[in-house]
Structure 1
Amino acid sequence: MVLPHRLWKVAVCAALLTACAAPGPARPQPSPVSAEIPSAPTETAPYVDVSVRHPPLGSVVAKTPTRRFVLAFMLAKHSACAPAWAGSTPIDDPAVLGDIAAVRSAGGSVTLASGGATGTYLENACSTAAELAGAYRQALQTTGADRLELDVETAVRPDVVADALRIVHTELAVPVTITATVADAGSGLEQSTLDLLRALASRGTDVVVNAMVMNFPESGSWRESMLTAATTVAGQTGEIWPGNPYSRLGITYMAGRNDTGVLTTVDDAHALRDYAVAHAIAFLGFWSLARDNGNCADEVRASPVCSGLAQETYAFTRALRGR
């Protein structure tokens, strides 16, 4: 698991490979990029931890090519079935809505992320699927977010959650992402996550499966570990949904110092983007915007407000688009 402030990311792929890419070997290499593969993943976005100080999003839009942000995390307000940022800040907080307005005025958009590493989940506070769908609906309509993500890092009721997500996905035409931890590079997603994905598939709900390639045991180099984990998750996804598994794959990494001590460098970020482009995946993101600076170079413990690397500000944000 991670620091209390950590969490992440969603999108639906707009272009598919013409042939299915089977899961690769233990140490995958990015496929050659053909003319039919887009020059970047369909969606890229940094995560924004609204519970910590972060750069104004309007300023980030002005200084980087990013036009989407994942706002995290929405939790149960004082443990009740009502949405609130980090479980306490109102979902219509003026500062958050001001950030969203700045993004949208520049032609950008936001994803709303529920769940995370700590706190009481809406998914557990709401008694029924209808109540949970109502909480999602309220948050989406209040913020104007056009995508919904569930970052599931604790046990949830798969049938209740799947029913609620189906309601929102159908009624509001909101794309859905399931973000989940990786046990290790070879094992991929945990059984509880696979159970939730199967429940969604059985209801005909199409989702992006976003692998958190962070904070798991290293095997070989850390870069190889992250790439292998992504390929493993693609294989698991392909067993649930037929077709090209990469078309619904998402990857989210932790910029700089992970909670387990390993470092994800800017060069690693570019390698992950190369993999994303080669396989035309649905989403690429990182945790988190507040950490995308070099204000604590050589810090040996993960911080919510700096990467622990000597880096330029917004280096990871720019790397999402290969800049």
Structure 2
Amino acid sequence: MRLTATRASARRLTGKTRLTITALATTAAAAGFVVIGGASGAQAATPVPAHVFAPYFEAWTGDDPATLSSQSGAKYLTMAFLQTASAGSCTVDWNGSTSMSVSSSTFGSSISTIQANGGNVIPSFGGYTADTTNTEIADSCTNVSSIAAAYESLVTTYNVTRIDLDTEANSLTNSAGIDRRNKAIAQVESWAASTGRTVQFSYTLPTTTSGLDSSGLAVLQNAVSNNARVDVVNIMTFDYYDGATHEMATDTENAANGLYNQLSSLYPSKTSAQKWAMIGVTEMPGIDDYGAAETFTTADAPTVYNWAVSKGINELSFWALQRDNGNCPGTGGQDNCSGISQSQWYFSHTFEPFSGGTTNPGNDFSLSLSPSSASVNPGSSTTAQVSTAVTSGSAQSVSLSASGAPSGVTVSFNPASVTAGGSSTVTFATSSSAAPGTYAITVKGTAASGSHTATYSLTVNGSGTGGGGSLTNGGFESGSLSPWTGQSGDAVVSSPVHSGSHAAVIAPTASQTGELDQTVTLKANTSYTLTGWVQGNYAFIGVSGGASASTWTSSSSWTKLTVSFTTGSSGTVTVFVHGWYSQGNVYADDFSVS
């Protein structure tokens, strides 16, 4: 699953596809106690719960696993990857780097910290890079006992109770390697039984939306023939590369249902509950390697969580912990960010309660503003988007409100309530009398689970643009035309509007253009830009008096017009908007001079 400089041309997969078919013990002993021998005496390892959240940790990044475990709340990590430094070798290192040997000096202290905090790690062998370079140990090494010894070394060095085997790409078609790998699993399980240890194995395999393909199924069939116990099959529910548009939570359920049916054929003596307890799923939060058509959203996470609880599956995971942030919106296939808008550790926080229990997380949501600040002239308005997302449990109704707005500023929402996951437009409208200053306005979302807030910084511009006056009531949000002056028929309307709650209608007749004027005194001999939004036939905006400039358009939808001008010695100009004789009404909104 690791992102590397080279990728397979047939299937643009990063290391992420190396997820898991997790071989977990099915007996009570498989709760995970491992007795470590040697001079230090026996020590009980932290058990892996029967239901565990264990996201992948990218071991090549230089990040500290104990730090990220603490920050994210994920007590259990699947650490990727272990592979040989070169094809033909029987010695594994972290990331295939001889400077990162399997020893207490490499990750030992961090793993001990995680264990002391009640968790553990699951070392993962293979991954896409190893599986395409013949450095996955069972592909590289032809001695089954040496492969088994490498697995056992992880158990005794780090006091772990589960090993993950991420098998994909070329490793799915290397029949000799498949057979050696499963024979080594059987040897390790025999060794564990004879020494009083419990070792769980997990297989990570790619999947289709209807279950394993024939190559993945062949891995399990070979395990059965070699009497190798596979405790959990953890399927990678992403990177389908089938050209379809996916609803990823639904496809996870469909893929797992297909796997359940395949396990029924492989293990006919197992009960329904035992077969579900053999299943794990690994997601790729956000946009996967294929692209936007395969996006696992923040709304998908609680859906998958609740489904996993209801079925009693063994493992929830995702690729990878370092992706659990929203630092690269719109970018797919990254190993350090999800490509979607999300809060830090959103997916970890949603899945983490799965470890050790089956209690659904309580309903909760998040709230954000975009943009979170703006400056307006008195009499104008501005808008922002209020976005909500489900952070745990199910979507609920969220009522929106605001506080902290000063006199002369009104805040309105459209709509005033949303279902978590939805958005609303908030309008900040100022009257001509609004006092200049910067104000922190609190936008609040309230639901049955509680409330969340976000702060909006609104600056009401002061008198003068470089020393002069300014246009007021440019958005007509005061509800009247003043200080604009107009002709018969000109008025303030509530529809259509460009933003806020009001706009102006200019009513030309056979004998008038319906001109609406406002005189302002700006700084003398200074360049300015007039902007305004208009709708209608032959809509003109401009300035006259101390400067002369105008432009026009004919449009049935809102159109922004811009006029540049330079004031004269007095700095006074008249801003105008008008239509044309007998050509129909013109609508105007959101005028400003800057």
TM-score under structure 1 normalisation? 0.84
Q: Which runs of 4+ in 1 moved over 4 A?
A: 13-16
* 273-282 or 213-222: bigger deviation: 213-222
Question: Using the alignment, how far apart are the partners of 1:11 and 1:66 within structure 2?
Answer: 20
Out of 283, 290, 303, the position equivalent to 2:334 is 303
Deviation sequence 1:218-254 (CA, Å, 0-9, x none): 4652332222112111111221012222120111111
The answer for the alignment partner of 2:186 in structure 1 is 166
The answer for the alignment partner of 1:101 in structure 2 is 112
Contact 2:123 2:163 in 1 (8 A): yes
Query: What is the deviation of 1:58?
Result: 2.8
Q: Which residue identity lines up with residue 232 of structure 1 in the other structure?
A: G
Which SS does the other structure have where 1:205 is aligned?
Answer: coil
User: RMSD over aligned Cα, in angstroms?
Assistant: 2.3
Question: Using the alignment, how far apart are the partners of 2:299 and 2:212 within structure 1?
Answer: 25
Deviation sequence 1:22-78 (CA, Å, 0-9, x none): xxxxxxxxxxxxxxxxxx971111110101244x33334434442111001111123
The answer for the alignment partner of 2:53 in structure 1 is 44
Query: What is the deviation of 1:283?
Result: 1.0
1:209 aligns with 2:233: yes
Max Rg structure: 2
Task: Return closer, same or farther for 1:137/1:228 CA change in 2, 3 Å cut-off.
Answer: same
Q: Which residue identity lines up with residue 223 of structure 2 in the other structure?
A: L
Which SS does the other structure have where 1:266 is aligned?
Answer: coil
Query: What is the deviation of 1:200?
Result: 1.6
Contact 2:18 2:204 in 1 (8 A): no
Question: Using the alignment, how far apart are the partners of 2:16 and 2:288 within structure 1?
Answer: 12
1:247 aligns with 2:245: no
Q: Which residue identity lines up with residue 122 of structure 1 in the other structure?
A: I
Question: Using the alignment, how far apart are the partners of 2:298 and 2:25 within structure 1?
Answer: 25
Structure 1 unpaired stretches of 5+: 17-39
Higher RCO by CA contacts (8 Å cutoff, separation 6 or greater)? 1
Aligned residues: 296
1:284 aligns with 2:304: no
Out of 299, 303, 328, the position equivalent to 1:271 is 303
Query: What is the deviation of 1:277?
Result: 0.6
Q: Greater strand share, 1 or 2?
A: 2
Contact 1:7 1:47 in 2 (8 A): no
Q: Which residue identity lines up with residue 236 of structure 2 in the other structure?
A: M
Query: What is the deviation of 1:104?
Result: 1.1
After TM superposition, list the pairs within 5 Å mapping 1:91-170 onto structure 2: 91-92=102-103, 94=105, 96-119=107-130, 120-153=135-168, 154-155=170-171, 156=174, 157=176, 158-170=178-190
Which SS does the other structure have where 1:78 is aligned?
Answer: coil
Which SS does the other structure have where 1:98 is aligned?
Answer: helix
Which SS does the other structure have where 2:289 is aligned?
Answer: coil
Question: Using the alignment, how far apart are the partners of 1:190 and 1:67 within structure 2?
Answer: 32
Which SS does the other structure have where 2:110 is aligned?
Answer: helix
* 137-146 or 112-121: bigger deviation: 137-146
Q: Greater helix share, 1 or 2?
A: 1
TM-score under structure 2 normalisation? 0.47
Structure 2 unpaired stretches of 5+: 1-10, 29-48, 193-197, 354-360, 362-391, 393-594
Percent of matched pairs sharing the same residue: 25
Query: What is the deviation of 1:286?
Result: 0.5
Task: Return closer, same or farther for 1:45/1:4 CA change in 2, 3 Å cut-off.
Answer: closer
Deviation sequence 1:67-107 (CA, Å, 0-9, x none): 11100111112331111112113223745223212201212
1:194 aligns with 2:202: no
The answer for the alignment partner of 1:232 in structure 2 is 258
Q: Which residue identity lines up with residue 304 of structure 1 in the other structure?
A: D
Which SS does the other structure have where 1:310 is aligned?
Answer: coil
* 76-85 or 283-292: bigger deviation: 76-85
Task: Return closer, same or farther for 1:298/1:220 CA change in 2, 3 Å cut-off.
Answer: closer
